[in-house]
Chain A
């Protein structure tokens, strides 16, 4: 199917929809996404997403490099929260080779995951008001994310694509005075979270733009395979950290925030925004607990230098910022994988878009795309 906009288009008689191309280049910062929109003036009748502008054949590359060598590529799958991608792939390969990960490494992995979740949600709740018109919260959110970037740089040397986890554990231990830095960050972070309420969540214009918009029910979400905060906003409390705990999450105490429909319909854009804000707060509590309970020990378990497993497959997933990020790895005795398949939450959310973006205004479409927290690298891989 070709969607090409022609310069001198002739409308057929009786055909009243205007075809617009919200092309791969546009100022919404969700990556390289393309939507072909059929509108009746400003009312949208049909949205067709066109994916593939950020496809980098990561899964195919997985068949060419070794299992350990593929780890840096997993960062690029979701570069907004790269630690969780690392974690999921590492878990899949560890399942393949039955490798056990030491406790300290598990705690370090949880710490990295939660910091990454905060960083990713900061981008989500920063770009969301920006697409609606308020630019200032975006800059404030990025200011907080800069502090997390500095923490990550102290931890593993990189600000965006970390390559922190290894098969069997993590790559680096905590540097000196890391805990003091994290506590200093958390202190200012709670202040930022408290500032969000009067700036956005109690702001009439924001509520008018956001409530009752793009709502879908729990059953629809499960049918379309939606995961993560999008699913939790509909009222269904499914979180891999509680329902299928991995990496010592059962030893920590936290709640799963769920959409409650307090402003507008249950499962609308406001609920998705609210769930992300509450999740950031829970992640901050989790980080405090992790740092308090960090055990001593090794950071890397025993893993073979060359991984050769015959005729075996493994699937492992973690709860990333956008939901269940799963890696399906098939091995057939070679040092490279035979097939790696990545399952991401944004792909399902993108497929939901044509369903919920009917009979909304053009401005609402941008708001809905932003509220689903679509990240193009995850969709296209």
Chain B
């Protein structure tokens, strides 16, 4: 068997397999942990806004909760409702995941850190977001549940309607830079915060960015547009009948989608991965959280090790060690250290690719945090009000933005 392999494997095939491996690693080690971490951050953030603590028990500050949730989801019974179309039922989550994940292929995280530098990147993104709609509709229909059907139909109508202002506002950076290639748009914004596309054409690009953000919220079914998954009416809308890892796929797909639209917003409006003072400030804040968590783990280790030494099992140690409170002084020190680190990076002109990736991810994550903030403060729109907002308000305003940008460009 082994002797025929060298003649069957061409260099193209090896190249393809390596690429497949790289892409899988990217999704498995980068996007999925970000999505999983978003779940944890959402729980802590919402708790902070609601005067409670959130998940802080499992592991230092509760970050092992996502591992526990993942394991729990894998161990659940794989059931599907009686009378449902099983093939569609099983296929639907994959469509949503594919739509969310493959869009990351064309987003540049750094100067040469992009999987596929497509010349029509924006068209590619818009096309793949429509795949999510198909997935949602399949999920609602195949659940054999009138409430899921309602949820999926609402979601389909909402996403399809809001793709129009999304596309229109995405046209604004295309008009300004003259290219649909996301790398080219990034290079256009180099040279400081004033070169960001959101400040290019005065109020028109700012409004375009706001309309884009609203449409993006509608695309990912987040409050105030989360009628498809309205808890008080539809339990969970189109993913009511899913349990275990299938639901986990929807869930991770939603957070990956959130991260995706934030990445697109950052690339097209907020300067991409370009290094600047403001960007380094974002990096500093991200560093703060990372340093805080790392120090927590570091300071927790003696307790863990001593418990293990006494003979308790690893699982017991991880789950039963009580959470420790860190004082405000500790947090301020972490913040100060993070900013020192970030300003050192700026001062010594560290332009390696990883700093660009870091800048990009922290800015995109800031937008994800804004989305979470909005979810926990605002009520949701009713379906007809949502549609009214899209067709009667967002679309005319995006047209005005496009025309305004064109006029601005001609006048300047």
Bound-state Cα–Cα, A18 to B377, Å: 34
Complex contact B385–A132 (CB within 8 A): no
Our count of residue pairs bridging A and B at CB distance below 8 angstroms stands at: 82
Most B CB contacts (10 A, CB to CB) among A139, A199, A363 go to A363
Bound-state Cα–Cα, A130 to B227, Å: 13
How many positions in chain A have a CB within 8 Å of any CB in the partner chain?
31
Residues of B within 8 A of A132 (CB): 232, 379-380
Bound-state Cα–Cα, A199 to B378, Å: 8
Partner of B376, one of A135, A205, A208: A135
Bound-state Cα–Cα, A6 to B49, Å: 43
Residues of A within 8 A of B82 (CB): 7
Complex contact B379–A363 (CB within 8 A): no
Partner of B378, one of A27, A28, A140, A205: A205
List residues of B (104-128) whose CB comes within 8 Å of A's CBs.
none
Supposing A42-B150, A361-B382, A361-B384 touch, asked if A134 and B377 sit within 8 A by C-beta, the answer is yes
Bound-state Cα–Cα, A7 to B144, Å: 9
B331 at the A/B interface (Cβ < 8 Å)? no
Write the nearest CB–CB distance from B220 to chain A, whole angstroms.
Answer: 16
Supposing A7-B82, A361-B384, A364-B382 touch, asked if A133 and B146 sit within 8 A by C-beta, the answer is no
Complex contact A205–B150 (CB within 8 A): no
A308 at the A/B interface (Cβ < 8 Å)? no
Complex contact A7–B378 (CB within 8 A): no
List residues of B (48-90) whose CB comes within 8 Å of A's CBs.
49-52, 82-83
Complex contact B150–A133 (CB within 8 A): no
Complex contact B51–A203 (CB within 8 A): no
Bound-state Cα–Cα, A321 to B38, Å: 41
Complex contact A8–B83 (CB within 8 A): yes
Supposing A7-B83, A363-B233 touch, asked if A205 and B51 sit within 8 A by C-beta, the answer is no
B206 at the A/B interface (Cβ < 8 Å)? no
Bound-state Cα–Cα, A209 to B223, Å: 14
Chain B, residues 190-234, CB within 8 Å of chain A (1/0): the string is: 000000000000000000000000000000000110110011110
Supposing A362-B233, A366-B233 touch, asked if A209 and B83 sit within 8 A by C-beta, the answer is no
Supposing A7-B82, A27-B235, A366-B232 touch, asked if A139 and B382 sit within 8 A by C-beta, the answer is no
List residues of B (372-389) whose CB comes within 8 Å of A's CBs.
376-385
Supposing A133-B223, A139-B50 touch, asked if A361 and B383 sit within 8 A by C-beta, the answer is yes
Bound-state Cα–Cα, A205 to B381, Å: 6
Bound-state Cα–Cα, A197 to B108, Å: 44
Partner of A27, one of B150, B231, B377: B231
B147 at the A/B interface (Cβ < 8 Å)? yes
Chain A, residues 343-381, CB within 8 Å of chain B (1/0): the string is: 000000000000000000111101000000000000000
Bound-state Cα–Cα, A278 to B232, Å: 26
Partner of A133, one of B50, B147, B378: B378
Bound-state Cα–Cα, A18 to B384, Å: 19
Residues of A within 8 A of B227 (CB): 363
A114 at the A/B interface (Cβ < 8 Å)? no
Supposing A133-B224, A135-B376, A208-B385 touch, asked if A140 and B232 sit within 8 A by C-beta, the answer is no
A26 at the A/B interface (Cβ < 8 Å)? yes
Partner of A136, one of B146, B150, B224, B377: B377
Bound-state Cα–Cα, A364 to B235, Å: 16
Main DSSP-derived SS at the A contact region: helix
Write the nearest CB–CB distance from B68 to chain A, whole angstroms.
Answer: 23
Chain A, residues 223-259, CB within 8 Å of chain B (1/0): the string is: 0000000000000000000000000000000000000
Bound-state Cα–Cα, A208 to B380, Å: 10
Most B CB contacts (10 A, CB to CB) among A26, A205, A366 go to A205
Write the nearest CB–CB distance from B378 to chain A, whole angstroms.
Answer: 6
Complex contact A133–B383 (CB within 8 A): no
List residues of A (130-179) whose CB comes within 8 Å of B's CBs.
130-136, 139-140, 143
Write the nearest CB–CB distance from A132 to chain B, whole angstroms.
Answer: 4
List residues of B (233-289) whose CB comes within 8 Å of A's CBs.
233, 235
Partner of B382, one of A26, A27, A209: A209
Residues of A within 8 A of B377 (CB): 134, 136, 199
Bound-state Cα–Cα, A90 to B51, Å: 38
A313 at the A/B interface (Cβ < 8 Å)? no
List residues of B (161-176) whose CB comes within 8 Å of A's CBs.
none
A102 at the A/B interface (Cβ < 8 Å)? no
Bound-state Cα–Cα, A363 to B224, Å: 14
Residues of A within 8 A of B146 (CB): 18, 20
Write the nearest CB–CB distance from A155 to chain B, whole angstroms.
Answer: 24
Bound-state Cα–Cα, A140 to B231, Å: 19
Write the nearest CB–CB distance from B217 to chain A, whole angstroms.
Answer: 12
Bound-state Cα–Cα, A206 to B226, Å: 14
Chain B, residues 139-154, CB within 8 Å of chain A (1/0): the string is: 0000010110010001
Complex contact A129–B379 (CB within 8 A): yes
* Chain B, residue nearest A206 (CB): B379
List residues of B (381-404) whose CB comes within 8 Å of A's CBs.
381-385
Residues of A within 8 A of B226 (CB): 133
Residues of A within 8 A of B380 (CB): 132-134, 205, 209
Bound-state Cα–Cα, A33 to B51, Å: 31
Partner of A134, one of B147, B233, B235, B379: B379
Chain A, residues 1-41, CB within 8 Å of chain B (1/0): the string is: 00000011000000000101000001110000000000000
Complex contact B232–A27 (CB within 8 A): yes
List residues of A (328-346) whose CB comes within 8 Å of B's CBs.
none
Bound-state Cα–Cα, A222 to B383, Å: 33
* Chain B, residue nearest A362 (CB): B233
Chain A, residues 187-203, CB within 8 Å of chain B (1/0): the string is: 00000000000011001
Bound-state Cα–Cα, A81 to B348, Å: 65
Residues of B within 8 A of A129 (CB): 379
Partner of A131, one of B154, B232, B376: B232
Bound-state Cα–Cα, A26 to B51, Å: 26
Write the nearest CB–CB distance from B235 to chain A, whole angstroms.
Answer: 6
Write the nearest CB–CB distance from B384 to chain A, whole angstroms.
Answer: 7
17 intermolecular pairs with C-beta atoms under 8 Å apart: A7-B82, A18-B146, A27-B235, A133-B378, A133-B380, A134-B377, A134-B379, A136-B377, A139-B51, A140-B51, A143-B51, A199-B377, A203-B379, A361-B383, A362-B233, A363-B382, A366-B232
Binding site for A on B (CB under 8 A): 46, 49-52, 82-83, 144, 146-147, 150, 154, 223-224, 226-227, 230-233, 235, 376-385
19 more contacts with CB within 8 A, not counting A27-B231, A27-B235, A28-B232, are A42-B383, A131-B232, A131-B233, A133-B226, A134-B378, A134-B379, A136-B49, A139-B50, A140-B50, A205-B381, A208-B382, A208-B385, A209-B379, A209-B382, A209-B385, A361-B384, A363-B227, A363-B382, A364-B382
Which 8 residue pairs across A and B have the least CB separation, nearest first?
A133-B380, A139-B50, A133-B379, A134-B379, A131-B232, A132-B379, A363-B382, A205-B379
